[in-house]
Amino acid sequence: MGWRRPCVLGRLFPTGGRGCHATGLFGGKPAYASAGVVSAAAFGALRPRRGAPGRGAGRIPGRAPVRLGRGGRVNIDQRPDLSLQQHLHLTTELKQGIAILRMSALELSEFARKCVEENPFFDDDDWVEPRHPLTPDRYVPDVSADALFEKRGHGSPETFDAERSDMSQRSFSFDRYLAEGDTLDEFLLDQLRMQVDSPRAKDIGEYLIGNIDGSGYLRTSVDQVAVALGAPEREVARVLELVQQFEPTGVGARNLAECLELQLRRSGKLTPTLERLVKSHLAEFETRTPASIARDMGLSLAELNEALDVIRTCNPRPASQFGSPSRPIWPEVVVESCGNGEYEVSLQDFYLPHLKINPTYRAMASNVKERDAETYLKEKLKEAESLIDGINFRHATLHKIACCIVEMQVEFFEKGYDCLRPLTMVQVAEATGVSESTVSRIASGNYMQTPRGVFELRFFFHSSAYRAADRVVSSISVKHRISELVEKEDPSNPLSDQALSEALAREGVSVSRRTVNKYREELGIPARAARRRS
């Protein structure tokens, strides 16, 4: 068959005969769903294969539907095309509800007080002072998982010299936050909001910050976060790198070596020798003498000691200046023993006002005739109802999650740390019928008062499990036992990681030396050489 080179505009928009006409544009008649005849070559179409000329159908990106007709010509059909797409948009009410879930009791109290003052739909006398006077002697020390096992401060002579730490890198905002007594989470979240615009990156960053403990260490892994959020590991790793650049320097590290490296790099002190020492030889001080390590590194003993002096200017607990023991917390969940292994879980809401809608203003919102006033009153009414619904949902969810934790950890409340079971947020989410992200938001910053003390809810979540003689114990139980063994050791002959591993094995808990080393670093306990005293 023969092919012609047509005039494209003439074929697409003819001024007479049959074809597509656009009123007023090319002087033709109104456009109907008629067919214009255009050569396939006008669109750069491929020649039909020999033996099958003109057969098949094609579709041209960005143009009307196209069919190959007889003689290799193209038939253009014009017709309306409808498509249904789903987009996720967070309403203002949903955003506020998520924010309320993340609030601690103290934060929620301040937020509710502000809303009562600004919204006319709440009565002025709705705010009542707490039924229990919040005097300092009623405050409970801020207890986190690491603080429970902390026996040695990093400021002691045999560990690290925090007083000699280079504070010149601290920003004015860091000092301001410390002076105002803000929490580590608040400080990190403020930095995240300033540096991240992507909603997805913010979600990942908030999840990571929610898993940073009171010492400043990240207590989860990149792959676990990726699975929990359904995000690529590479994206999670990028956000973690950003968080690790926040103040205080060293925050977000996953172990002691990474924490020291972050601080040395930020201060400009990280030399190749220090980097090699921190990454490859830090754990060797457990079992080897400084002289042998210096020999392997090709250093003199004096050069090694100089390197160690630089390392000792770092802070092994970068977040230690946040959340001091004097900072008050309000344990919202109260667990009381009823005997026979049964416990009652209740919520304390003395810190909140008795919120209710003013009936006069509600009626006014329905009857007002002025458009601006009607819009204002309806918005304020919606805000008031949204706040009440958000607080009620938070209370119900918190109570449900707390009951689930108590039920799953009842042996801990009966017998102590040795019986603390491995528990994940996924397990609690499945048992309570809420999402894992909701469990994570509730568990962070909310505290539980129990017969064994006051704990943050996320203290009860840990996935590592070790089988003892007659039970399964958690990583928290193992850490607690390591801390006890170190506390009772002979200062002149401290226990090595291998000795700690063997001591645990004699008690029926099989933990490798490498795992003991990891837990010791997470607890902030120095290496054997640093603990030795003459």
| Structure-block tokens of residue 163 | 């007083």
- Position with higher pLDDT, 179 vs 384: 384
The pLDDT confidence band at residue 16, using thresholds 50, 70 and 90, is: very low
The pLDDT confidence band at residue 252, using thresholds 50, 70 and 90, is: very high
| Residue 357 contacts residue 343 (beta carbons within 8 Å) | no
pLDDT given for residue 238 in this prediction? 93
The three-class DSSP label of residue 326 is coil
Average pLDDT, integer, range 497-504: 89
Number of neighbours of residue 321 by Cβ within 10 angstroms? 17
Residues of the chain with CATH 1.10.10.60: 465-531
pLDDT given for residue 65 in this prediction? 54
pLDDT given for residue 342 in this prediction? 87
Average pLDDT, integer, range 412-420: 82
Given a cut of 70, whether residue 488 has pLDDT beyond it is: yes
Sheet holding 73-76, edge to edge: 36-39, 73-76, 66-68
Best CA proximity match to 215, nearest among 162, 251, 247: 251
Average pLDDT, integer, range 415-441: 86
Lookup result for tokens 């203003």: 361
Given a cut of 60, whether residue 269 has pLDDT beyond it is: yes
pLDDT given for residue 135 in this prediction? 32
Kindly report which listed range (293-307, 348-362, 395-409) carries the lowest average pLDDT score.
348-362
- Position with higher pLDDT, 454 vs 27: 454
| Residue 115 contacts residue 381 (beta carbons within 8 Å) | no
CATH topology of domain 465-531: Arc Repressor Mutant, subunit A (1.10.10)
> What Rg do the C-alpha atoms of the chain give, in angstroms?
33
Preceding omega of 6 cis (within 30 degrees of 0):
no
Average pLDDT, integer, range 435-462: 86
Kindly report which listed range (167-181, 184-198, 348-362) carries the lowest average pLDDT score.
167-181
Given a cut of 90, whether residue 229 has pLDDT beyond it is: no
pLDDT given for residue 401 in this prediction? 95
Given a cut of 60, whether residue 59 has pLDDT beyond it is: no
Average pLDDT, integer, range 223-243: 88
pLDDT digits (tens, 9 = 90+) for 348-369: 877 676 788 888 888 887 787 7
Question: CA dist 430 to 231, 281, 409, 418, Å?
Answer: 21, 43, 16, 25
- Position with higher pLDDT, 213 vs 286: 213
Given a cut of 70, whether residue 188 has pLDDT beyond it is: yes
Given a cut of 50, whether residue 446 has pLDDT beyond it is: yes
Q: Are strands 447-450 and 453-456 parallel, antiparallel or unpaired?
A: antiparallel
Given a cut of 90, whether residue 241 has pLDDT beyond it is: yes
Given a cut of 70, whether residue 99 has pLDDT beyond it is: yes
Phi/psi at 253 (nearest 5 deg)?
-70, 150
9 CB-near residues (< 8 Å, 6+ apart): none
Cα–Cα distance for residue pair 147/143, rounded to 1 Å: 6
The percentage of residues in the chain with a pLDDT greater than 90, rounded to a whole number, is: 10
Kindly report which listed range (153-157, 480-484, 492-496) carries the lowest average pLDDT score.
153-157
